[in-house]
């Protein structure tokens, strides 16, 4: 359960946090997503934030944490990341390498746009924990 911290796991240099999401970025491959309830989608934000916070506890100093969704919804993406940065000053955002080739960069966070390279829609943010 990614929403519960387990001290037995230790710390890591790199962690991928691919949280449960609405899937709005892959709707062309899974058209049934359009029938999801807006209430169900809104309930995801708290879980996504909780998982991001718990996952961040496993990151070593100078380690990296990649937050990812297959959604284009800012409430699941940039808003979660901005809240995380406000409440976790020991982290900062890193540039997504070559991100501008795949979508839109906003405050170092990448939203992969399906029409850029005929891909699905995704979101990627790279956090780094400050070192000593």
Tell the burial category of 21 from Cβ atoms under 10 Å away from its Cβ (0-12, 13-18, 19+).
buried
Tell the burial category of 93 from Cβ atoms under 10 Å away from its Cβ (0-12, 13-18, 19+).
middle
| Number of Cβ atoms within 10 Å of the Cβ of 4 | 8
Q: Which of 108, 110, 105 is nearest to 123 (CA)?
A: 110
Q: Looking at the annotation, which residues are catalytic?
A: 70
- Rg over alpha carbons for the chain, rounded to the nearest Å, is 15
- Local structure of residue 73 (DSSP, 8 states): -
């Amino acid at each position: 359960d990614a929403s519960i911290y387990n001290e037995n796991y230790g710390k890591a240099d790199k962690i991928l946090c691919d949280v449960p999401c609405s899937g709005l970025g892959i709707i062309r491959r899974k058209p049934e997503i359009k029938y999801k309830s807006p209430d169900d989608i809104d309930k995801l934000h708290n879980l996504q934030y909780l998982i991001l916070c718990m996952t961040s506890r496993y990151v070593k100093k100078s380690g990296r944490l990649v937050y990812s969704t297959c959604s284009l919804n800012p409430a699941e993406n940039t808003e979660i990341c901005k809240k995380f940065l406000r409440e976790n000053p020991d982290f900062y955002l890193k540039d997504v390498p070559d991100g501008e080739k795949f979508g839109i960069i906003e405050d170092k966070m990448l939203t992969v746009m399906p029409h850029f390279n005929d891909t699905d829609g995704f979101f990627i943010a790279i956090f780094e924990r400050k070192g000593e």
